[in-house]
Structure 1
Amino acid sequence: MTQKKQHVTIKGTKDGLIFLLDDHCSYDSLLEELYDKLSTKHYQGSDEPDVKVNVKVGHRYLTEEQSEEITRIITEGRNLAIEQIHSEVLTKQEAELLRQESQVVTLTRVVRSGQVLKVRGDLLLVGDVNPSGTVMATGNIFVMGALRGVAHAGFEGDTRAVISAALMSPAQLRIAKEIHHFGEDEKEAAMESAHLDDESGAFVLERVQQLIHHRPELQKNDSQIIDG
């Protein structure tokens, strides 16, 4: 007699419970087994603090109503609290956001005083950033000109972001939440880059040639080199 395949697996961790929900069976079969698994007294409500539950649904797409239904089945009358429902499926909006984050936005212009240039992804600016001008990117910033204003890389929290300029003489550099003000004693430098130290989180400014030692992921397009 063959054993019936389980569609719901519950695992305990030091942080709570993980519910692994099969992504190949029908949605109705999944709910039926989920009801059965949670019908034991072990999961009934008590005076104990709520146990955190992470639900993993694999490559199954859940509508908002289905997510609410699963949440209700797990938590109703039980001391269980959903922390997150994890799905490997991306919505169109999430896929578009990932595409934007991985792109390089190339612009040829001068960012003048008082202007703010803000992009999603990496910014390659062929031109200058004048004093009191600002450039911002969720990723890296590369200025093929003079950077004399403000540059803010990784403005949504990416501490791995870098800032490079053909002529580095900014009023201020920002990476994620860290800020570096340029003092009068700091001289402008050609072909310089800035990044955050992985351990201390402090700003490091050095020649762009050294950047690859700290951010090897910048060589992600090596496979596209054509051998002559």
Structure 2
Amino acid sequence: MKKIQNVTIKGTKDGLTLHLDDTCSYEDLKKELDRKLSNSTRVNDDQQLLSVKVKAGNRYLSDEQQEELKELIRQKRNLIVEDLETNVMTKAEAERMIQESEIVTVARVIRSGQVLEIVGDLLLIGDVNPGGTVKATGNIFIMGALKGIAHAGCEGNADAVIAASMMKPSQLRINDCINRAPDQPQDDENRIMECAYISDNQQIVVDRLQVLMKKRPNLTRFEGGR
């Protein structure tokens, strides 16, 4: 009977890919991984640094176990861990992913000194007054006047956008980019609904709402009609 391999090493043009069996015990997996990598690095002793991708399949790995496997690989002379993938996530991670894909609707006025912070996209029906702040991990859509601070993609989403019926912010933030208020804002009666996004040169740009269809084609989640 052919013995099942707990670790399969495949060479690619970019380095090595390690396929880890997801049915054996974690301890058996570590032992075989260490043995096979030791043999592999002795053969490749004189070669340059190799990038390693680890695919753990349907095995759940805690943060501690992931770091332990990465450290085991790093100890080999010419191996660098580029990525570790697993198909399994915790309930908390799944709930977080669902939250981040939802649009949270809030109907209120954000007054001076108040901070509204949500996970996912924010649809605010109301104004953000000077001194007020709205923050979202995703996009921010304001059906009202934005006169305070808006921070979209606050946990690292550079593709997030900000849109408002009246764009008169004291400050705009997207990811880690910041754009202060314009020195000479246009008259209120001439204002149309506008949006802000990070351009290709990593600057926040304020433009007509219509440009989002071209700049962020994946923004729309639903397509209706024929």
TM-score range, shorter chain: 0.7 to 0.9
Partner of 2:205: 204
Separation in 2 of the partners of 1:69 and 1:110?
A: 49
Partner of 2:136: 137
The TM-score with structure 1 as length reference comes to: 0.79
Larger deviation: 179-188 or 61-70?
61-70
Cα deviation, 1:200-228, whole Å, max 9, x if unaligned, reads 12222222122111111122122xx4x59
Structure 1 residue 68 displacement after superposition: 6.6
2:90 paired with 1:91: yes
1:56-75 pair list within 5 angstroms: 56-63=55-62, 67=66, 70=69
Partner of 2:115: 116
Cα deviation, 1:142-172, whole Å, max 9, x if unaligned, reads 0101111111111112111111111111111
2:192 paired with 1:190: yes
Separation in 2 of the partners of 1:96 and 1:23?
A: 24
Query: Where does structure 1 lack aligned partners over 5 or more consecutive residues?
Result: none
2:77 paired with 1:79: yes
Partner of 1:214: 215
Separation in 1 of the partners of 2:36 and 2:109?
A: 63
Q: Identity rate of aligned residues, in percent?
A: 49
1:16-55 pair list within 5 angstroms: 17-24=16-23, 30-31=29-30, 33-34=32-33, 36-38=35-37, 40=39, 42-43=41-42, 53-55=52-54
1:143-158 pair list within 5 angstroms: 143-158=142-157
The TM-score with structure 2 as length reference comes to: 0.80
Structure 1 residue 94 displacement after superposition: 1.2
Aligned residues: 221
Query: Where does structure 2 lack aligned partners over 5 or more consecutive residues?
Result: none
Separation in 2 of the partners of 1:68 and 1:170?
A: 43
Structure 1 residue 99 displacement after superposition: 1.2
Separation in 2 of the partners of 1:70 and 1:184?
A: 53
Structure 1 residue 186 displacement after superposition: 2.3
Q: Over aligned residue pairs, what C-alpha RMSD do you find?
A: 3.2
Task: Give 3-state SS (helix, strand or coil) of 1:190's partner.
Answer: coil
Give the direction of change, closer, same or farther, for the CA distance of 1:116–1:59 in structure 2 (3 Å limit). same
